[in-house]
Amino acid sequence: MEDETKSLISLIALLLSSLGYSYVLATYMTKGLARLLFLLPTFYLLAIFPWYFTSSLVRGVLSFFITWIASFKLLLFCFYKGPLLASRNFLDFVAVAIFPLKIRENTHDPSSPAMVARYELVTLFNKPYLATSLQDFWGRRWNRLSSNILRQTIYDPTQNVLVGFVGAGKARVLAMVTTLVISGVMHELMFYYISCGTRPTWEVTWFFVLQGISMAFEGALKYLARVKGWTPVHPTVSNVLTLAFVSITFSWFLVLPVWRSGRNDCGFRPKILPFREYIDHSKPFQLLSELHYNLS
């Protein structure tokens, strides 16, 4: 038990050191690719971090908040965008990077003793059971944290690049589908952690691809209905249809893969310190080296 506690403390210290490296180094590096290259060690640590926990639930949670969300926040930070820009000190930087928090806009005193008052929780869900369309469900109600991050890192840049080539309408559709594909890949990675590195079946990715295609079809159908003057579907009916579609596809593409391959204990916990033991006994390094093969 004592060894596990020391290992956890060392792991947390390593995480904080990496974020400190990112926080300090960013002040000396110009924004863009240069900053991104120098932050690659931090991205790597965030990628292997969940493997140091044996619980499937813990790995799933950490792979979402640390490997995915924190990495994407740092990615935005490299290009001088995102929530980390509001950080006034290292504590702000760590809190916003790791947790679903944002700094209150009306807080001006960085030395305020009431640290909780400096932050507020990011709204994760906005009554998704009231969604009346897939666009409403995924764009405004379900997991607002990942939706906002994906919008800033994938949707907006993709739309801005494509709008000059295909026009505003097609750019929005292509950006939406691209965003859902990236979301699917990131969820696939989460299930890779949960299933202890089991070869992906890509059902998770296909779930989000299907949602993106369905939203594009939904938008086209709404446009046609306005042009033809069709009577709008009653909100209650559209609510039932939306929730039924999401629930059925979710059960088929996400629940079943986890049910088949998920394990609660991977059976390993690599050592952090000393450095030589970390290299000799680190299972995550082996898993990371096999990731390209497993995902191909």
pLDDT at residue number 247: 93
Q: Which residues are bridge partners to 102 per DSSP?
A: 120
pLDDT at residue number 151: 93
pTM for this entry:
0.81
Percentage of residues in the chain having pLDDT higher than 90: 35
**pLDDT tops 70 at residue 51:** yes
> What sign results for the dihedral spanned by CA atoms 222, 225, 226, 231?
negative
If one counts every other C-beta atom within 10 angstroms of the C-beta of residue 64, the result is: 21
pLDDT tens track for 234-262: 999 999 999 999 999 998 887 776 666 65
pLDDT at residue number 273: 41
**pLDDT tops 60 at residue 285:** no
As to burial, measured by CB atoms within 10 angstroms (0-12 exposed, 13-18 middle, 19+ buried), residue 208 is: buried
Spatial CA neighbour of 157 closest among 137, 182, 135, 140:
182
Query: In which band, very low, low, confident or very high, does the pLDDT at 105 lie, cut at 50, 70 and 90?
Result: confident
Mean pLDDT of 269-288: 43
Tell me, rounded to whole angstroms, the distance of Cα 72 from its chain centroid: 7
* Token reading at 258: 């986890």
**pLDDT tops 60 at residue 48:** yes
**pLDDT tops 60 at residue 38:** yes
- Start-to-end Cα distance in the chain: 39
pLDDT tens track for 141-170: 999 999 999 999 999 999 999 998 888 888
Q: Where are the domains of the chain?
A: 1-122, 126-264
User: What CA–CA distance (Å, rounded) separates 140 from 150?
Assistant: 13
**pLDDT tops 80 at residue 117:** no
pLDDT tens track for 219-238: 889 889 888 888 888 999 99
**Which H or E run contains 248?**
helix 235-250
Cis peptide before 83 (omega within 30 of 0): no
Q: Average model confidence (pLDDT) for the chain?
A: 82
pLDDT at residue number 145: 92
CA distances from 30 to 77, 81, 229 (A): 11, 13, 53
The answer to whether 68 and 186 have CB atoms below 8 angstroms apart is yes
Higher-confidence residue: 13 or 54? Answer: 13
User: What CA–CA distance (Å, rounded) separates 217 from 139?
Assistant: 15
